[in-house]
Amino acid sequence: MFKIAVLASGGGTNLQSIIDSIDNENLNCKIEMVIGSKEGIYALERAKLKGIKSYVVNKKDYGDKTSDRILELTKGKVDLIVLAGYLSILQGNILREFKDRIINIHPSLIPSFCGPKMYGLKVHEAVISSGVKYTGCTVHFVNEEVDGGAIILQEVVPVYFEDTKEELQKRVLEKEHILLPKAIDLITRNKIEIINGKTRIE
C-alpha cells in the first residue's frame, strides 16, 4: 500500500479532501501520519477523528532542526510527503532523501503570486489588488526554491471585481480540494515523469 504523510498548519480542509477521497475510493493510499506545525490546529483534530497517527513538530521546540525531525518521523515509513496548507519551509536533508517525493499545494497559478512570504490570505489579497481576472491553484514538487519545483497540476479560478480575499480564498479552496487528491492519485499510479524541470503526465 502506498503510504503518505500529510503536513498541515491550519484547518486542514486539504487534509480532509484526501481523507474523503480515500474513503470514497477515488484514491488508493494510506495516510500513515499527519504532522502539524503546532498544537491545537484543527488538522490534528481531523486526524484524531479518523484514528490517524499524528505528531506536532513545532518550530519553537525544534528551530532549525524542524525539517530533520520531520525526516526522522517519515524516513522509511512513507512514500510521499504532502504539504497541505503547511506553512514552514522544508530544508536540508529531507529534500535530498525525499527528492521528487514531496508535493505542495499553493493557492495561485505559479509562477505568479508565490515565493517566500506569499501564503494564506496574502496571496488572494495580492491577486485582487493586481487586477488579474484569473487565479487558481497549483500542485507542485518541492525543491530548494520556495514554490519553485516542477508543476504537476493547475486549475484556473475567475476573479470578480467585487471579490473579498476571503471570498476568493473560498472559491480557490474548492478547486484545491479536487486538485490535491488528483495529484496524489497520479503519483500513486506512477503517472508522472519529470523532464528538465517539467512534468509529463501519462
Name the residues that contact ligand GRF, by CB under 6 A: 8, 10-15, 43, 84-85, 105-107, 119-120, 173, 176
Q: How far is the CB of 165 from ligand GRF (least distance, A)?
A: 11
Task: Pick the closest to residue 108 from 178, 62, 156, 70 (CA basis).
Answer: 156
Cα→Cα distances 152→79, 120, 172, 195, 198, Å: 17, 20, 17, 12, 8
Alpha carbons 48 and 52: distance in angstroms, whole number = 6
Q: Is 124 considered catalytic here?
A: no
Task: Pick the closest to residue 102 from 35, 24, 20 (CA basis).
Answer: 35
Residue number, 71 or 157, with CB nearest to ligand GRF: 157
Residue number, 8 or 127, with CB nearest to ligand GRF: 8
Residue number, 71 or 110, with CB nearest to ligand GRF: 110
Q: How far apart are the first and last CA of the chain?
A: 21
Q: How far is the CB of 89 from ligand GRF (least distance, A)?
A: 12
Comparing every residue's Cβ against ligand GRF, the nearest one is 85
**Cis status of the peptide bond prior to 116, with omega within 30 of 0:** no
Q: How far is the CB of 73 from ligand GRF (least distance, A)?
A: 20
The position carrying cell 490570505 is 121
Per DSSP (E only), the strands in 14-96 are: 30-36, 54-56, 80-83
Residue number, 4 or 173, with CB nearest to ligand GRF: 173
Q: How far is the CB of 76 from ligand GRF (least distance, A)?
A: 26
Active site residues: 106
